[in-house]
Structure 1
């Protein structure tokens, strides 16, 4: 296998911008909220939709407090009820008593996102249990494209168009063959900077709704994984609650190692993963689940495995029937935001040394936290920081970067990130710590790195950390490196 060819697969500009968002929110809200269901049957009376206290600013403030950078709204779920006054169906907020029939939830959430500095995305379910043309081929495609066009032209910039593969029609139900390529073309024309997620070519569903993550997540995978019908077949098929608790299938835990790519070398794509789960057992709000909000530490663990595992994290937070997030959800989001901020703030300042790996070579050192950018300097912040990525000599058998601390410190994690504009190149990385007696001990290791890999371990006192890039697909290009001190 030509390893350099694997590294030559690169992300698009929209995929790069999406990856840097890292963590954003999902808001499931609609007729199901009013009827206390997950999958509404369609045709519920629009008069049921009347969230008297709806406050989109409250939603967005809570998401931002958690450290999120965007919000995706379920503009239409499977029941077909539209949260905006669509011109192609009467089953919308315009037929409800809310805001006197003149309301537009999509506009309110998009506006709140802009006011608070978050990006806005849309979820538009392809499956529609109300629309009469569903299952009618081109007629439904026309209907769906009309709704997609409304959402992409009325509400400003869109960062994500989230296309769900779920469908519970069953063997005797209506079946619609979606014209996916037509849908994609509309998105590309009207919102060229938006990623098309899940049943789309830009962002790959991680394969479960439980927050489970792979040991190694690769962004370069076989093109066959983009097949929307394949994705739909693996999506939820029944409203029984069990699907949300299932882990990643055992036959899909390795999608991008050299062994997994064998036979696909000539048909590879950049298709990075998104981890999506809900803060509650359900996706919509159910009063019976008010005591089942997931705790901060559980969500922080998912954050570390997803954002720290070359994926983005999409966390659903559902408002209640009155149009407000419950206090329990808001409190957990605030706690999660503090936990994430504290983790980032404990980055240890260090002097950075790069070594060629050749015996007898003299390494070059410079302060890792101060001074002007220099050729080969490792960025200590988010990708795109002023400092340039480090690229060792192509002939280097064991590229290494060392962080030397001013004194011994108890650290609990090391963050490593590649410059993914140059592809995903690292295939195995080893992190070692230097003890007080000078011995180096292994703290952690991983295969895939990509945009960011956060390796966690039991706190250990060391006065330096060394990252060894043991295996690669091409010369590695390291964009970020940081050690995280353990909380006192």
Structure 2
């Protein structure tokens, strides 16, 4: 099927493009979540909002250890839960008495947001903040404008006092139920504040920059489109599908009612506007989002985390992995070990690339597309036909995956590609996948080959590949 085929307006779809902030965010690929607060001390997932600040006194908070553990896994940023649903602030907010300033931690002079921000800067990692819109402590919650004023005041503190912020992570949490207080969040106002104070930051989940994948289990769609109907940016719709109760089961629940968001089939008959709204896959290294000692033997293995990383990062998404520090103030040993093991596997995958050893050609001759994208490299952008790349190696190698990068600054255009592996002129394996986007990792069952053929089978407009990686076992 070529770009002239019937269906949605492909010229329009192929020219929907990301903003500069979305491109910077996508390049991060992998970053961490740090859930920490009074819930860590009380061994809960959702606090009541009535916790005594005096209970918060972790004896050995070490933000540098958190950041080092996450960096060891290959993460490039950290998002801190500056305030969770219980309303307890990890910085000395001037707008509430329910914060670290009222606790004995650091003698009442502590500021965990500052400590994590500084640790990220020292390690060269990006820093982001989570600020729960649901506040079970503040009496203004559910009153409308008065609460919005309070929320914006706290958002302003976080976005003006802690350096550059790469992400403001806003969920639509409101778990009080049909008979509880109900606040209609002023999302437009919150967005204006972020844009004014941190114009380079993406607003995730209940914002227009980064789309929640729809589950907290780490599940990735088979084909993840970044160009989707603008209705998916509806913050209230996103909130309605988020966790509504502290039942302990939502973190591993996957539903399949929205598995195809942007294909020609999904968009057939759609007359609305499409937008660039890329996906973030999020999950926790443990069953819970906060640390619970009873879960120390239920930390995901490095191998399982690597599978999640390959599916998410290698499926045109960014991967947000939660690593909750323990009540001591440090990330627990099982989590540290799992992260280090994950980092080793990610490193082996990246360093296993053998594409640079191949002679790479298309129908017109040699092509500079081997390996991961590098600054200044022009994309391979064939004009017509059924574009084909040949990577010929001087000796056989055991191929574990073939990875492709699309030049998404031009839009998301590739709909399907195929790969054929040959040895001594005989095809030994065929495979393929759908969309490419920022990065697509196509797993190969350790087939020995000396020739890799990549064919772009379907595309919406003239395709543009930035890189091809051939990973050897």
After superposition, residues 300-339 of structure 1 pair within 5 angstroms as 300-339=306-345
Cross-structure match for 1:399: 387
Cross-structure match for 1:131: 138
Q: Give CA deviations for 1:315-346 in whole Å, capped at 9, x if unaligned.
A: 00000111011111111111110110011111
Contact 1:278 1:317 in 2 (8 A): yes
Cross-structure match for 1:371: none
Q: Give the whole-Å Cα distance in 2 for the aligned partners of 1:13 and 1:97.
A: 43
Cross-structure match for 2:372: 381
Q: Give the whole-Å Cα distance in 2 for the aligned partners of 1:262 and 1:122.
A: 38
Cross-structure match for 2:415: 427
Q: Give the whole-Å Cα distance in 2 for the aligned partners of 1:258 and 1:45.
A: 54
Q: Calculate the TM-score normalised by the size of structure 1.
A: 0.94
Compare 105-114 and 261-270 and name the one that shifted more. 261-270
Cross-structure match for 1:455: 442
Q: Give the whole-Å Cα distance in 2 for the aligned partners of 1:482 and 1:300.
A: 18
Cross-structure match for 2:365: 364
Contact 1:379 1:385 in 2 (8 A): no
Q: Kindly indicate whether residue 105 of structure 2 is the aligned counterpart of residue 105 of structure 1.
A: no
Aligned-CA RMSD value: 1.1
- Name which of 217, 221, 242 aligns with 1:235: 242
Q: Kindly indicate whether residue 250 of structure 2 is the aligned counterpart of residue 250 of structure 1.
A: no
3-state SS, counterpart of residue 414 of structure 1: strand
In the alignment of these two chains, the number of paired residues is: 465
Q: Kindly indicate whether residue 11 of structure 2 is the aligned counterpart of residue 4 of structure 1.
A: yes
After superposition, residues 469-484 of structure 1 pair within 5 angstroms as 469-484=456-471
Cross-structure match for 1:205: 212
- Name which of 73, 86, 97 aligns with 2:93: 86
Q: Give the whole-Å Cα distance in 1 for the aligned partners of 2:193 and 2:420.
A: 49
Q: Give the whole-Å Cα distance in 2 for the aligned partners of 1:11 and 1:43.
A: 43
Q: In the TM superposition, what is the alpha-carbon distance from 1:263 to its structure 2 partner?
A: 3.3
Q: In the TM superposition, what is the alpha-carbon distance from 1:379 to its structure 2 partner?
A: 5.5
Q: Give the whole-Å Cα distance in 2 for the aligned partners of 1:236 and 1:379.
A: 43
Contact 2:387 2:456 in 1 (8 A): yes
Q: In the TM superposition, what is the alpha-carbon distance from 1:350 to its structure 2 partner?
A: 3.1
Q: Kindly indicate whether residue 443 of structure 2 is the aligned counterpart of residue 443 of structure 1.
A: no
Contact 1:164 1:198 in 2 (8 A): yes
Q: In the TM superposition, what is the alpha-carbon distance from 1:266 to its structure 2 partner?
A: 4.0
Structure 2 segments unaligned to the other structure (5+ residues): 1-7
Cross-structure match for 1:273: 279
Structure 1 segments unaligned to the other structure (5+ residues): 357-362, 367-376
Q: Give CA deviations for 1:92-149 in whole Å, capped at 9, x if unaligned.
A: 0000000000000000000000000100000000111011100000001000000000
Q: Kindly indicate whether residue 138 of structure 2 is the aligned counterpart of residue 147 of structure 1.
A: no
Q: Give the whole-Å Cα distance in 1 for the aligned partners of 2:135 and 2:428.
A: 56
Q: Give the whole-Å Cα distance in 2 for the aligned partners of 1:299 and 1:413.
A: 17
Cross-structure match for 1:465: 452
3-state SS, counterpart of residue 140 of structure 1: helix
Cross-structure match for 2:401: 413
